[in-house]
Each structure stands twice: as structure tokens, then as C-alpha cells.
Amino acid sequence: MKAYVYRRYGGPEVLELVDVPKPAPKDNEVLIKIHATTVTSADWRVRSLEMPRGFGPMARLALGITGPRQPILGTELAGVVEAVGKEVTKFQPGDEVFGFPGAEMGCHAEFRVLAEDGPVALKPSKLSFEEAASLCFGGTTALHFLRKAEIKAGDRILVIGASGGVGTALVQLAKQAGAEVTGVTSSANLDLVTSLGADRVIDYAREDFTRRNETYDVIADTVAATSFARCKHMLREKGRLLAIAGGMPDLLASLWAPLTGSRKVIFGPAQERPDDVQRLADLAETGVLRPVIDRRHTFAEMAEAHAYVDTGRKKGSVVVTVGT
């Protein structure tokens, strides 16, 4: 099968389209012919080793000191089940599915195997393969942090980076939970964030959101635009800062903030739970969660898709069509 691999860290130019062995499903696995995948900020960070402040050396240890241990990027997919292992009962050949290998990656390829009890579910019938492929990276991250924040009806939440892959999911899922949502984004994306359910929006180019005379129960920073010290005054008693793209300073703040009062910093990688994929399918099927796609690329344009994500200006997802 064809797959994009990278053998050294760097820009989009390190990607190579090569032939690799087609995987065969084990007894408990399904083989998926990929129709669509995405390029996310995770792909950018892993490919380039551009990590949050203070985590570069640790990332190299985890990902590969001299070169990447997992040469195929791609965290999410949608496609059709081509074959199943002999113990599989939930899926059958021909099923349209979507999945989220997440940190294990491997989706920038024509095929991928996943365990039937892993992060895979039937594709929502209302969604195209491209739309389904774009659900999980932002959606699972949003679900994780909203759980950690114990978001509830009536809470006021500020979403910084509200037009990104994680931000667009946060706005919708927080609103679904009954929260009052304010989104921070660029002037070009104000209408998008409003259409996703935000009660109000702030154009960061025109206004410093930290100078507004407003307080929140939750501040979700998806783009490392602020810090606990800078926005502490905006948090209500028992308020929570979600440092979704945080670096070492946020890790340290998560340790000392509880010692200084009732406010806290929630930091760390999002836990990848297979049942969240099914939950996202249900939310999308009922129309609660709407995928947001910025650009679509062909498989031959993988490097161009990566280059666009590298700019940091994407809204929602960048989708790559692999095959039909």
C-alpha cells in the first residue's frame, strides 16, 4: 500500500510517498480502507518537534532520539472495513467507519488496522467520510478537558482559539452542556464561531480579552495565548484554567495554583478513550456536533496540507482524501 513516511524531523519536505506492507488484521482487529484522514496540530508537532515550551527534549526521547519510531503520521481516519479478524463481531466488511488511533498515528496511508473494541465506530450516516474523519482530534480533546473541568449548565466559559480544531469542538460541546460561551478568535472567524453557538465573540486583534471586566468559571486556552498569572483575575472562585496547549510553566502552575487559593490549572495530554469515539458519533448524528472543515486536499497534496497547518491559521480541520 501507499503511505507517507518521514525519516527525520523537519518541515513538510521530509514527507515521502512510499510503498509499505499492507497490514493484516489480527483476530480482534478490523482492516480499514481509508477514504479520508486529516492533518492536525499533533502531526505538525510530531513531525517538526515544535513542542510546547520546555518539552522538546522529552518529546525527542518519547518519539525517537535519532529519528521517528512511528514513521507514518495521521491521528484520525474514516473509511470502509475491508476485512475482519475471526473474533470480530461488531463490524463486518463493507461497514463505513471512522476512528482515532490518536498518539499511535498511522493514518496517512491507504489502510489501517484497529481493534474492534478500540477507538472505532460506525460512521454517522449524516456525515461524509471527510466530515467524519475530522471529528475526533478536536472532539476527544474537548470532551476530556470539559470532563476535567466538570463543566455544568450555567457556567461561563471563555474559549481562546475558538476557531481551531479543538476550539470549534469546545464551543459546541460546552454549549450543549448548558454553559454560556464566549469565543476569542480573529475577525475573519467571528461569524463562524457565532454560528457554532457562542453567545459572544471577541476579536483578539481589536481587544485584549484580559482587560475586559468579566469573569469566568472556565477559561480554555487551546493555543497557549495566556498564562495563569495573566488571567487569574478573570477566574471566579474555584475557576479553572484549561491549559490545553500548555508548556512547562503551565505544568508548574498546575502544582502551585491550588496552594494559593481555590482556582486551579488543568494541564496534561488528553486521555484517549475509545468510548469517546462512539459518543462523538452520537453527537454528530443528532446534530449537536458539526464538523468544521477549512480545506480539502488530495492524497497527492499531503505536503501542501502539512504546510498549511504549519502556518497556524487553519480553522477547524484540514482534510486529506485518500481514496474511494
Main-chain dihedrals φ then ψ at residue 62, nearest 5 degrees: -75, -40
pLDDT attached to residue 30: 98
Give the Cα separation of 116 and 26 in Å (integer). Answer: 10
- What domains are defined for the chain? 2-135+291-321 (3.90.180.10), 139-267 (3.40.50.720)
Please answer whether residues 101 and 42 qualify as being in contact, where contact means their C-beta atoms are separated by less than 8 angstroms: no
Give Cα separations from 164 to 48, 185, 251, 309 (angstroms).
Answer: 19, 9, 23, 11
pLDDT attached to residue 246: 85
Residue type, 265: V
In sequence order, the β-bridge partners of residue 243 are: 221, 267
Averaged over successive runs of 10 residues, the pLDDT of the chain (324 residues) comes to 97 98 98 98 95 82 91 98 97 98 97 98 97 98 97 98 97 98 96 97 93 94 92 95 89 82 91 95 96 97 98 96 84
Give the Cα separation of 146 and 152 in Å (integer). Answer: 9
pLDDT attached to residue 247: 83
What cell does 277 get?
A: 469515539
pLDDT attached to residue 323: 75
pLDDT attached to residue 132: 98
Predicted TM-score (pTM) of this structure? 0.95
pLDDT attached to residue 249: 81
Strands (E) in the chain, as ranges, are: 2-6, 15-19, 29-39, 77-84, 96-99, 111-115, 120-122, 156-160, 180-185, 200-203, 216-221, 235-243, 264-267, 293-298, 317-321
Give the Cα separation of 162 and 244 in Å (integer). Answer: 12
Alpha helices, DSSP H only, in 150-218?
A: 165-176, 190-195
CA angle 305, 295, 10 (to 5 degrees): 20
What cell does 308 get?
A: 498549511
In sequence order, the β-bridge partners of residue 322 are: none
